[in-house]
């Protein structure tokens, strides 16, 4: 081949690589585009940020949520993710100062400054078009709206919120009716109905279903928000305190402006109301007006944050004020008539530190709930000056009160550990370090020789090791907090798989000193941590919450789950190495030095063996666990099949190579496809929502299509490179033979 | 592959084909496709139907279809037979023909372990029986009911109105029935027979006065009729079989027309020559060689959620000569005389809580565990050997100057 044709050949190859890289970039941009909300800063004129002390104090208040006791900050984190789809909310106040509001600050706003919270752009809406019918206009299709945006009224005075509520109710009812109708159809009728629909009708139906889903989910969020902002309303609500003579009420010394006073006096109000009726008279107007106010406030206070640990240790569920009031009132042995008398008895017993007998327990609970109610009223009153010393002191006493009560019950011991876990932000730090390691290693590839090269190399190793340490320590910390092995749900698998792959690549680099594996490890580290972050944001679920009964086995979690996850890690590693191999070979690397190329091929072969070992052992261990849990070793359940597919794919690769069906290129191309199979098994089978592994089902998870796309691109790159090499080799042979013919 | 002597005779050629890599690869690829399509199809037809379609002994060919019943792949051989051929191939190629030596020792051991596991799977699929026993706290039970095995029980009532030992039309006779088939069932010592028609594996029972009867629906009997239902994919045990029974005398005259539905546990009755009979369509009864007494049934949820935290049953296993106490909870079954009892259901909806025990009898129950140990040792040995070679080879090739 002449020099000029060699140069043009190289240019062509670089052009192709560039083309494919741009295609891959376009794929990533397309995928990300769907989840990005235009950055629009909302003005909230009177917003003043909470002081750091208040935020830190609030962060450590124990609350119960998702079946466990966790810090207030963790609850806030996942609530904010579910409402806002992000852990930061950007606003600017009246003076134009930009403010970033974090989860704890936002939840504090909801609890103590609901009027301010209502102005914050908290509700992430992915399709604002759907909201037009309720009179809500938004320029952007994806937007973040405030609660106040839902309060806009039409000419008839109907608020958007009410309309959404009514529509959601209608959708639910219709969906139930449709379900009933469908359940009455025969399979043939159902099939006929499906066939009778035109493509347009089907599309319309899908569109309607999607819009309905948006409305119903939005209604649920709005309701949850109303409880969050309203559950302390009892301490804020303004009402006309009835002026009832002391002769009727007795001198209890309570503040008549507080709701807790009237809840405490509910027995007397009730008596006044009943007596009035018996005597054919109407009860005093103020009493008649007050009773529904109390009922509404009690009802609102049923939701919100559960941060009242019951004093009765036999009860597992923490209270909200409203829930506890209702639970006491509904208890069989609660006797209004004898309340005053029994209250005195309980007080006497408590003074003597004596045990409360069974028949007095409901009255004791009643007194406890009143005490908690008053404490919360104090807190809300103090919060009127949000950053004052008074509020900080009240908040801290509340934190101490809840912490002490939780500790007495043997709960909430990991509160500080958990707040520190989130503050340290291990995985995000690991992401940054891996990114730096990759960038430095990329420079290292350019400057391979001399002092700069050595410096780059050392810097890469340092950042890589630091990133890995952050990742591993993060996994350990998490595992300690959860009190179980590190992998128990889909989220847990992401850092674990990443750590496994990065660690193996790091060790391989240390053994072989080829410089390539460290760069690959950094890429994997960045990708894994980014996925962990995106998944947490998208799923908005606290993945530290306890596991379902069937998974409560540290032995099986530590053996089956860990082993199978290491297998996934191996499959993804092999895929990445082969993908890089394909790109580099297309770009014409290793034309001079073949040893690195062979090394990569041997690495992929080795990693495939590694994947087979762990996947096979993990799959069989899973079968043995299933045999102990469900009574069958193998049930062809999607999750089991997914694991089997990885095993089969590895066996196909290894046997095809032994049989001579595939050589170097075949190994890499199949290994790239193997990555897609791992992705399917790890992620996609959970989206099928069928089988016994129901605890792992996920909604959405469309990120997997991006991964398939990347695998597909890499396969295409490899295939093109293989074809080109074949083509140019043949061309060279033909050229050589024609040159030879010409000479002869 | 090592250089081998040519295979000259037909027998040797057959041996070469059966033990070859080519057959192994074809089987692995087919099994891969079958596993993949069966997983995808489960979303539309459910697990039980998928297993029957893809993995049953009598499934020789499979045509994968999508949710609209459209064919999505060329016909594939049934997975059971692919696995049988793969096992044979592994025995012949991976054990008998394979070169023996330390280099291949790990692979040889692994092949042996996988063959053992495949045999365990075969034994399990042929002889495993599964069922469910429901026991209310404080009560006893000595039988389970088999999954997906509807049977018809016919029994006489004595003068006190008590049920006598039943005559049974087994699920083997019913399960293969199509709705248009007519099954004639005779009973020894009885001068009547049944004609079973309109059998559906999933049906709904409707009251004729409440629901408009369609032309595809079954006839109205005693004010009720059956309509075929769409198979419930999410909860396959919730699918209720149903059928019509015409009770006929020796002259083939109809004595009574009955409607049977699995969702109705109360028997329907008819009288013949002064004797009253009861008939019920129910999951096949599976008598146990012991009784289970449920002493305590506990179910707990994580506070403030409906997420199960624990389900546990304290039971006493009662045989003719002994009583033994056991605790059964998640991941901790009771094994006794080839029977294994698992905590599978729990409910406190009634007056007293009850436990549902999944019961399995499977001779190859523990074989996969043994094969796992063997396979792990084999694979680990082999791959460690390979790793040492790889690391050594890599270090050597790095030392070589660039060519």
Which residues between 285 and 314 in chain A have a beta carbon less than 8 angstroms from any beta carbon of chain B? Answer: 306
Asked whether residue A282 carries a pLDDT value surpassing 70, the answer given is: no
Q: Classify residue A538 by burial, with Cβ atoms within 10 Å: 0-12, 13-18, 19+.
A: middle
Which residues between 565 and 594 in chain A have a beta carbon less than 8 angstroms from any beta carbon of chain B? Answer: 592-594
Out of A552, A656, A690, name the one closest to residue B47 (CB).
A690
Question: Considering only CB atoms, which chain A residues are within 8 Å of B227?
Answer: 184, 186
- Torsions phi, psi for B362 (to 5 deg): -150, 115
pLDDT in tens, A380-415: 999 988 888 899 999 999 999 999 999 999 998 999
Q: Classify residue A655 by burial, with Cβ atoms within 10 Å: 0-12, 13-18, 19+.
A: buried
Q: Which of B286, B318, B341 is the last residue of a domain?
A: B286
Q: Give bridge partners of residue A65 from the DSSP assignment.
A: A68
Sheet strands (E) in A240-316: none
Residue B136 and residue B259 in one domain: no
ipTM over 0.85: no
Residue B275 and residue B217 in one domain: yes
- Reduced to 3 states (helix: H, G, I; strand: E, B; else coil), residue B346 is strand
- Pull the structure tokens for residue A716: 């295409």
The CA-based diameter of chain B, rounded to the nearest angstrom, is: 104
- Please indicate, yes or no, if residue B105 is contained in any of the structural domains: yes
DSSP state of A357: P
Residue B47 and residue B64 in one domain: yes
pLDDT in tens, A593-622: 678 888 889 889 989 998 998 999 999 898
Report the pLDDT value the prediction gives residue A5, as an integer from 0 to 100: 58
Residue B109 and residue B56 in one domain: yes
Rg (chain A; Cα; Å): 32
Out of A187, A306, A623, name the one closest to residue B368 (CB).
A623
The answer to whether B148 and B284 have CB atoms below 8 angstroms apart is: no
The answer to whether A569 and A608 have CB atoms below 8 angstroms apart is: no
Q: Is the dihedral of CA A580, A581, A583, A588 positive or negative?
A: positive
Q: How far B249 CA lies from chain A's nearest CA (Å)?
A: 33
pLDDT in tens, A146-182: 999 888 776 666 788 999 999 999 999 999 999 999 9
Q: At what angle do helices B102-127 and B367-399 cross, to 10 degrees?
A: 150
pLDDT, average across residues B269-295 = 92
Asked whether residue A184 carries a pLDDT value surpassing 60, the answer given is: yes
Out of A316, A641, A689, name the one closest to residue B35 (CB).
A641
- Please indicate, yes or no, if residue B2 is contained in any of the structural domains: no
Which residues between 280 and 299 in chain B have a beta carbon less than 8 angstroms from any beta carbon of chain A? Answer: none
Report the pLDDT value the prediction gives residue A188, as an integer from 0 to 100: 87
Residue B205 CA to residue B241 CA, distance in Å, equals: 10
Q: Please choose, from the candidates A678, A677, A701, A679, the residue with its C-alpha nearest in 3D space to the C-alpha of residue A689.
A: A701
Residue B135 CA to residue B4 CA, distance in Å, equals: 63
Report the pLDDT value the prediction gives residue A137, as an integer from 0 to 100: 79
Angle of CA points A456, A458, A461, to nearest 5°:
110
On whether any CB of chain B is under 8 Å from the CB of A658, the answer is: yes
pLDDT in tens, B367-380: 888 888 898 888 88
On whether any CB of chain A is under 8 Å from the CB of B383, the answer is: yes
Question: Considering only CB atoms, which chain B residues are within 8 Å of A628?
Answer: 331-333, 342
CA distances to A1, B85, B111 from B115, in Å: 54, 11, 6
- Please indicate, yes or no, if residue B3 is contained in any of the structural domains: no
Q: Which of A603-617, A691-705, B42-56, B76-90 has the lowest mean pLDDT?
A: A691-705
Band of residue B188 on the pLDDT scale cut at 50, 70, 90: confident
On whether any CB of chain B is under 8 Å from the CB of A36, the answer is: no
CA–chain centroid gap for A441, Å, is 32
Residue B87 and residue B73 in one domain: yes
Which residues between 503 and 522 in chain A have a beta carbon less than 8 angstroms from any beta carbon of chain B? Answer: 511-514
Report the pLDDT value the prediction gives residue B276, as an integer from 0 to 100: 93
pLDDT in tens, B102-112: 788 888 999 99
Which residues between 48 and 67 in chain A have a beta carbon less than 8 angstroms from any beta carbon of chain B? Answer: 64-67
Angle of CA points B107, B113, B114, to nearest 5°:
90
Residue A486 CA to residue A164 CA, distance in Å, equals: 42
- Reduced to 3 states (helix: H, G, I; strand: E, B; else coil), residue A704 is helix
Report the pLDDT value the prediction gives residue B402, as an integer from 0 to 100: 44
- CB contact under 8 Å between B39 and A685, yes or no, is yes
Report the pLDDT value the prediction gives residue B403, as an integer from 0 to 100: 38
Beta strands A42-43 and A89-92: pairing type?
A: parallel
Compare all CA atoms of chain B with the CA of A595 and give the residue at the minimum distance.
B397
CB atoms within 10 A of CB B238: 11
Residue A653 CA to residue A670 CA, distance in Å, equals: 7
Torsion angle of the four alpha carbons B358, B363, B369, B374, in this order, in degrees rounded to the nearest 10? -170
Report the pLDDT value the prediction gives residue A448, as an integer from 0 to 100: 64
Q: How far A589 CA lies from chain B's nearest CA (Å)?
A: 14
- CB contact under 8 Å between B330 and A550, yes or no, is yes
Asked whether residue A138 carries a pLDDT value surpassing 80, the answer given is: no
CA–chain centroid gap for B274, Å, is 42
The answer to whether A621 and A560 have CB atoms below 8 angstroms apart is: yes
- CB contact under 8 Å between A631 and B360, yes or no, is yes
Residues recorded for chain B? 403
Residue A59 CA to residue A527 CA, distance in Å, equals: 30
pLDDT in tens, A86-96: 999 999 988 88
Asked whether residue B1 carries a pLDDT value surpassing 80, the answer given is: no
- Pull the structure tokens for residue B93: 């190629």
Residue B320 and residue B270 in one domain: no
Residue B116 and residue B136 in one domain: no
Band of residue A37 on the pLDDT scale cut at 50, 70, 90: low
- CB contact under 8 Å between B43 and A688, yes or no, is yes
Which residues between 591 and 650 in chain A have a beta carbon less than 8 angstroms from any beta carbon of chain B? Answer: 592-595, 598-599, 602, 606, 609-610, 612-613, 616-617, 620-621, 623-625, 627-638, 641-642, 644-645, 648-649
- Give me the DSSP letters along A44-103: -TT--PPPHHHHHHHHT-EEEETTEEEEHHHHHHHHHHHHHSSS-EEEE-TT--EEEE-H
Q: How far B182 CA lies from chain A's nearest CA (Å)?
A: 21
- CB contact under 8 Å between B383 and A190, yes or no, is no
On whether any CB of chain A is under 8 Å from the CB of B368, the answer is: yes
Residue B106 and residue B175 in one domain: no
Contacts of B395 (CB under 8 A, 6+ apart): A511, A512
Q: Which domain holds residue B389?
A: 10-127+366-399
Q: Which of B239, B263, B286 is the last residue of a domain?
A: B286
Report the pLDDT value the prediction gives residue B175, as an integer from 0 to 100: 84
Residue B320 CA to residue B318 CA, distance in Å, equals: 7
CB atoms within 10 A of CB B177: 19
Question: Considering only CB atoms, which chain B residues are within 8 Å of A625?
Answer: 331
Beta-carbon-side half-sphere exposure of residue A111 (alpha carbons within 13 Å): 27
Looking up tokens 């405490």, which residue turns up?
A264
User: Which CATH number belongs to the domain containing residue B327 in this structure?
Assistant: 2.60.98.10
Sheet strands (E) in B19-162: 61-62, 76-77, 129-136, 140-156
Report the pLDDT value the prediction gives residue A398, as an integer from 0 to 100: 92
Q: Best interface-test mutation with A: which of B69, B228, B304 has the largest number of A CBs within 10 A?
A: B304
Q: Which of A447-456, A663-672, B23-32 has the lowest mean pLDDT?
A: A447-456
pLDDT, average across residues B266-290 = 91
The CA-based diameter of chain A, rounded to the nearest angstrom, is: 131
- Please indicate, yes or no, if residue B109 is contained in any of the structural domains: yes
Out of B130, B227, B372, name the one closest to residue A620 (CB).
B372
pLDDT in tens, A634-646: 888 898 999 999 9
- Torsions phi, psi for B243 (to 5 deg): -165, 170
- CB contact under 8 Å between B32 and A649, yes or no, is yes
Residue environment code for B204-216, b if the CB has 16+ CB neighbours within 10 A, otherwise e:
bbbeeeeeeeeee
- CB contact under 8 Å between B130 and A631, yes or no, is yes
Q: Which of the pair, A252 or A371, is modelled with greater confidence?
A: A371
For chain B, the domain total comes to: 3
Report the pLDDT value the prediction gives residue A250, as an integer from 0 to 100: 66
Question: Considering only CB atoms, which chain A residues are within 8 Å of B122?
Answer: none
- Torsions phi, psi for B329 (to 5 deg): -145, 180
Residue A35 CA to residue A18 CA, distance in Å, equals: 26
- Give me the DSSP letters along B75-108: -EE-HHHHHHHHHHHIIIIIIISSPPSHHHHHHH
Out of B342, B369, B375, name the one closest to residue A629 (CB).
B342
Q: Which of the pair, B255 or B233, is modelled with greater confidence?
A: B255
Residues recorded for chain A? 744
On whether any CB of chain B is under 8 Å from the CB of A29, the answer is: no
Angle of CA points B396, B402, B403, to nearest 5°:
110
Torsion angle of the four alpha carbons A662, A666, A671, A672, in this order, in degrees rounded to the nearest 10? -160
Map out the domains of chain A as residue ranges. 42-183+206-233, 246-408, 426-546, 564-744
Report the pLDDT value the prediction gives residue A245, as an integer from 0 to 100: 65
Q: Which of A26-35, A612-621, B138-147 has the lowest mean pLDDT?
A: A26-35
The answer to whether A64 and A318 have CB atoms below 8 angstroms apart is: yes
Residue B18 CA to residue A264 CA, distance in Å, equals: 86
Q: Best interface-test mutation with B: which of A68, A75, A182, A186 has the largest number of B CBs within 10 A?
A: A186
Residue A603 CA to residue A73 CA, distance in Å, equals: 45
Asked whether residue A58 carries a pLDDT value surpassing 70, the answer given is: yes
Q: Please choose, from the candidates A98, A103, A27, the residue with its C-alpha nearest in 3D space to the C-alpha of residue A63.
A: A103
pLDDT in tens, A418-446: 999 999 999 999 999 999 999 998 888 77
Asked whether residue A454 carries a pLDDT value surpassing 90, the answer given is: no
Residue B270 and residue B301 in one domain: no
- CB contact under 8 Å between A316 and B303, yes or no, is yes
Beta strands B275-301 and B268-272: pairing type?
A: antiparallel
Asked whether residue B15 carries a pLDDT value surpassing 60, the answer given is: yes
Whole-model pTM?
0.85
Q: Best interface-test mutation with A: which of B302, B370, B382 has the largest number of A CBs within 10 A?
A: B302
- CB contact under 8 Å between B38 and A636, yes or no, is yes
Q: How many CB pairs under 8 A join A and B?
A: 215
Angle of CA points A262, A263, A265, to nearest 5°:
60
pLDDT, average across residues B121-144 = 89
CB atoms within 10 A of CB A39: 6
Region for B38 from its dihedrals, namely left if φ exceeds 0, alpha if ψ lies in -120 to 50, beta otherwise:
alpha
CB atoms within 10 A of CB B358: 21
On whether any CB of chain A is under 8 Å from the CB of B46, the answer is: yes
Residue B74 and residue B45 in one domain: yes
CB atoms within 10 A of CB A389: 11
Report the pLDDT value the prediction gives residue B200, as an integer from 0 to 100: 92
Asked whether residue B5 carries a pLDDT value surpassing 70, the answer given is: no
Report the pLDDT value the prediction gives residue A1, as an integer from 0 to 100: 47
- Give me the DSSP letters along A400-413: HHHHHHHHHTT--T
Q: Cite the DSSP H helix spans in A197-245.
A: 199-230
Region for B334 from its dihedrals, namely left if φ exceeds 0, alpha if ψ lies in -120 to 50, beta otherwise:
beta
Beta strands B275-301 and B323-329: pairing type?
A: unpaired
Out of B47, B68, B333, name the one closest to residue A636 (CB).
B47
Residue A619 CA to residue A34 CA, distance in Å, equals: 36
The answer to whether A722 and A665 have CB atoms below 8 angstroms apart is: yes
- Please indicate, yes or no, if residue B315 is contained in any of the structural domains: yes
Residue B300 and residue B216 in one domain: no
């Amino acid at each position: 081949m002449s020099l000029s044709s060699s140069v043009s050949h190289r240019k062509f190859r670089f052009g192709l690589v560039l083309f494919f890289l741009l295609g891959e970039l376009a794929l990533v941009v397309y995928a990300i585009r769907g989840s990005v909300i235009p950055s629009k800063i909302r003005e909230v004129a009177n917003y003043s940020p909470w002081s750091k002390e208040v935020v830190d104090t609030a962060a450590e208040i124990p609350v119960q949520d998702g079946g466990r006791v966790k810090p207030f900050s963790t609850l806030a984190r996942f609530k904010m993710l579910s409402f806002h789809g992000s852990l930061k909310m950007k606003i600017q106040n009246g003076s134009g100062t930009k403010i970033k509001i974090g989860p704890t600050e936002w939840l504090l706003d909801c609890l103590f400054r609901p009027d301010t919270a209502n102005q914050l752009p908290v509700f992430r809406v992915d399709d604002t078009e759907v909201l037009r019918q309720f009179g809500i206009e938004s320029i952007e299709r994806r937007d973040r709206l405030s609660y106040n945006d839902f309060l806009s009224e039409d000419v008839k005075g109907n608020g958007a919120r009410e309309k959404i509520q009514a529509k959601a109710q209608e959708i639910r009812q219709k969906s139930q009716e449709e379900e009933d109708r469908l359940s009455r159809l025969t399979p043939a009728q159902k099939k006929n109905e499906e066939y009778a629909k035109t493509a347009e009708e089907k599309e319309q139906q899908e569109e309607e279903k999607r819009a309905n889903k948006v409305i119903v989910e939005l209604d649920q969020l709005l309701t949850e928000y109303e409880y969050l902002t309203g559950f302390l309303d009892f301490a804020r609500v303004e009402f006309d305190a009835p002026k009832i003579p002391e002769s009727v009420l007795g001198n209890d010394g309570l503040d008549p402006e507080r709701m807790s006073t009237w809840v405490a006096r509910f027995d007397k109000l009730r008596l006044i109301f009943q007596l009035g009726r018996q005597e054919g008279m109407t009860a005093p107007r103020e009493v008649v007006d007050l009773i529904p106010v109390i009922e509404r406030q009690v009802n609102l206070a049923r939701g919100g944050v559960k941060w009242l640990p019951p004093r009765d240790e036999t009860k597992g569920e923490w209270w909200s004020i409203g829930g506890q009031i209702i639970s006491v009132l509904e208890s069989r042995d609660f006797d209004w008539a004898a309340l005053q008398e029994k209250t005195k008895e309980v007080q006497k017993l408590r003074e003597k530190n004596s045990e409360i007998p069974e028949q007095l327990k409901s009255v004791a609970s009643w007194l406890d709930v009143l005490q908690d109610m008053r404490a919360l009223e104090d807190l809300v009153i103090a919060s009127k000056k949000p950053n004052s010393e008074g509020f900080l002191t009240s908040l801290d006493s509340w934190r101490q009160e809840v912490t002490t009560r939780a500790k007495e019950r043997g709960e909430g011991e990991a509160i500080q550990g958990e707040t520190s876990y989130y503050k340290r932000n291990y995985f995000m730090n690991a992401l940054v370090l891996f990114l730096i390691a990759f960038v430095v290693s990329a420079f290292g590839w350019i400057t391979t020789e001399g002092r700069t090269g050595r410096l780059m190399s050392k810097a890469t190793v340092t950042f890589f090791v630091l990133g890995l340490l952050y990742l591993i320590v993060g996994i350990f910390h998490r595992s300690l907090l959860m009190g179980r092995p590190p992998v128990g749900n889909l989220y847990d698998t992401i850092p674990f798989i990443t750590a496994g792959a990065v660690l193996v690549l790091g060790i391989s680099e240390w053994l072989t000193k080829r410089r390539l594996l460290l760069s690959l490890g950094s890429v994997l580290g960045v990708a894994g941590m980014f996925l962990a972050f995106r998944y947490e944001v998208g799923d908005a679920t606290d993945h530290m919450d306890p596991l379902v009964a069937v998974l409560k086995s540290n032995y099986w979690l530590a053996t089956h789950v860990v082993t199978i996850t290491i297998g996934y890690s191996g499959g993804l590693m092999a895929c990445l190495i082969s993908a890089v191999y394909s790109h580099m070979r297309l770009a014409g690397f290793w034309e001079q030095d073949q040893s690195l190329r062979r090394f990569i091929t041997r690495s992929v072969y080795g990693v495939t063996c590694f994947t087979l070992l762990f996947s096979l052992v993990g799959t069989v261990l899973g079968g043995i666990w299933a045999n102990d849990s469900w009574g069958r070793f193998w049930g062809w359940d999607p999750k089991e099949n997914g694991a089997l597919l990885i095993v089969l794919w590895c066996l196909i690769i290894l046997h095809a190579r032994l049989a001579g069906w595939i050589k170097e290129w075949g190994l890499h191309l199949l290994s790239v496809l193997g990555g897609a199979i791992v992705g399917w098994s790890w992620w996609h089978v959970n989206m099928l929502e069928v089988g016994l592994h129901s605890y792992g089902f996920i909604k959405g998870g469309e990120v997997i299509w991006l991964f398939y796309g990347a695998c597909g691109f890499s396969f295409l790159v490899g295939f093109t490179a293989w074809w080109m090499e074949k083509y140019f080799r043949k061309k060279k042979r033909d050229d050589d033979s024609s040159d030879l013919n010409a000479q002869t | 592959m090592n250089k081998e002597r040519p295979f000259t005779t037909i027998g040797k050629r057959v041996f070469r084909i059966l033990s070859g890599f080519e057959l192994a690869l074809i089987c692995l690829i087919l099994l891969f496709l079958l596993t993949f399509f069966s997983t995808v199809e489960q979303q539309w037809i459910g697990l039980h139907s998928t297993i029957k379609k893809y993995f049953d002994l009598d499934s020789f060919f499979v045509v994968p279809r999508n949710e609209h019943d459209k064919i999505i792949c060329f016909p594939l051989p049934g997975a059971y037979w692919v696995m049988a051929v793969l096992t044979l191939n592994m025995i012949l190629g991976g054990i008998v023909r394979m070169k023996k030596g330390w280099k291949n020792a790990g692979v040889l051991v692994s092949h042996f372990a996988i063959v053992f596991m495949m045999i365990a799977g075969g034994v399990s699929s042929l002889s495993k029986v599964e069922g469910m026993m429901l026991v209310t706290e404080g009560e006893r039970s000595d039988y389970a009911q088999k999954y997906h095995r509807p049977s018809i029980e016919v029994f006489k009532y004595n003068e006190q109105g008590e049920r006598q030992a039943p005559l049974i039309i087994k699920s083997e006779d019913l399960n293969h029935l199509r709705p248009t088939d007519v099954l004639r069932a005779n009973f020894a010592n009885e001068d009547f027979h049944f004609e079973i028609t309109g059998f559906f594996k999933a049906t709904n029972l409707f009251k004729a006065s409440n629901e408009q009867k369609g032309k595809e629906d079954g006839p109205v009997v005693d004010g009720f009729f059956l309509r075929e239902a769409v198979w419930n994919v999410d909860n396959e045990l919730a699918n209720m079989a149903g059928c019509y029974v015409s009770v006929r005398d020796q002259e083939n005259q109809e004595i009574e027309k009955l409607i049977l539905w699995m969702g109705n546990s109360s028997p329907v009755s008819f009288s013949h020559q002064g004797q009253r009979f009861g008939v019920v369509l129910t999951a096949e009864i599976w008598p146990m060689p012991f009784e289970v007494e449920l002493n305590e049934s506990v179910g707990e949820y994580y506070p403030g959620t409906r997420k199960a935290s624990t389900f546990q049953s304290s039971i006493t296993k009662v045989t003719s000569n002994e009583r033994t106490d056991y605790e059964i909870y998640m991941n901790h079954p009771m094994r006794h005389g080839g029977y294994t009892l698992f905590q599978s259901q729990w409910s406190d909806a009634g007056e007293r809580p009850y436990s549902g025990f999944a019961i399995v009898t499977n001779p190859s129950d523990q074989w996969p565990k043994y094969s796992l140990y063997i396979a792990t040792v084999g694979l680990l040995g082999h791959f460690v050997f390979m790793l040492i070679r790889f690391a050594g080879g890599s270090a050597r090739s790095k030392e070589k100057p660039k060519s």
